[in-house]
Structure 1
Amino acid sequence: MVKKRWLSLFVENEVGVLARVSGLFSGKSYNLDSLTVGVTEDVTLSRMTISLTSDDQTFEQVKKQLNRCVEVVKVIDLTDTPIHMKELMFVKVHTCSEQDMTRLNYIREIFNAKLIDYDAEAALLECVQPEQKNNDLIRLLENHYPNRLEIVRGGSVAMEAVSISDNTV
């Protein structure tokens, strides 16, 4: 079954590790939906959060190949695990009239986005939400501001929930 999958990798914090891990995906023609990486509380390790859409067989191959990489310390499959996931996204809306700005402020409040910069003709929003909620915001903005958007998405980060009863996304 083809579905969205999540992996968390702990890797050695060394030059070239990101290139080798991403190269594994491109070499096998696996497409990544998102890849983020950052140093952990242990400065010798980085944590990569990878999302991809794949079938069960391909996903098992990906996990096996990642486990074979010398620099990969641990591979965690988060696919069926309760997680907290967020994605950073910036959206710039160009050519805004006063009426556009009023509507944008209303939309911004609904999606809990921040207005972080603006001038007489443009506004810049910051949204830190689950990927699907950011997708919903983009669709709504495209309907109201067609051909006036500039979007930058930073990729998702995810971490296992503390307990099963947590509200996870």
Structure 2
Amino acid sequence: MRHIISILVENEFGALSRIAGLFTARGYNIDSLTVAPTDDATLSRMTLVTQGDERIVEQILKQLNKLLDVVKVVDITEATHIERELMLVKVEAVSTESREEFKRLADIFDARVVDVTATTYTIEVIGRGSKLDAFLALLESSTPMEVVRSGVIGIARGDQLIEGSHEGLLR
């Protein structure tokens, strides 16, 4: 089963390496990983997606909690949550027909054309991974020139949260 794990870590040199090393040492795969600073300059938030049954994920959570840089770990998969991913797709758009088709697809998927040249369109799509996958599937006949995906970010809905400070980390 797919799990989205939110990790609040000290913004220190080597923290990402230690977390990735934990997965490598135990033979677990990371499907996606995003890292960004929080509103507290001393902390960063990692959103990690991995696969595993409940026993494996429980073991991962325990091992992550043992790392010195880790402040808080939460598996948000079972909680009501919001997840998003960003994708940029560059397509060849040389004919009027292809340009119109790409604009139509962008409208259908609530996407945006963010760059236009004489021969290409770059389209930004934001949403759940399944939405991004569906967009790519519709482009099959016109193979994208380039695809870049950000990886998943996620946040629990409601009052359950990981804050950007050491106090009141999880409510």
With normalisation by structure 1, the TM-score equals: 0.89
Aligned to 1:158: 154
- The C-alpha deviation readout for 1:100-159, integer Å capped at 9, x for no partner, is 1111111000111110111121110111111111111111112x313x431000111111
- 1:119 alignment partner, one of 117, 120, 129: 117
- Equivalent residue number for residue 167 of structure 1: none
1:80 is paired with a residue whose SS is coil
8 Å contact 2:86–2:150 — kept in the other structure? yes
User: What is the match of residue 47 of structure 1?
Assistant: 45
Question: Which residue matches 1:100?
Answer: 98
User: Do the aligned partners of 2:93 and 2:99 also contact (CA within 8 Å) in 1?
Assistant: no
AA matched with 2:142: Y
Structure 2: tracts of 5 or more residues without a match: 161-171
**Cα distance, 1:94 vs structure 2:** 2.3
Give how far 1:66 is off. Answer: 0.3
Q: Distance in 2 between matches of 1:149 and 1:120?
A: 15
Code of the residue aligned with 1:12 in structure 2: it is E
Counterpart among 26, 29, 39 of residue 28 in structure 1:
26
How many pairs are equivalent?
A: 160
Q: 1:141 corresponds to which letter in structure 2? A: L
AA in 2 matched with 1:76 = V
State, as a whole percentage, how many aligned pairs show the same letter: 38
1:76-95 alignment, distance < 5 Å: 76-94=74-92
1:29 Cα shift? 1.5
Which residue in the other structure is 1:145 paired with?
142
RMSD: 1.5
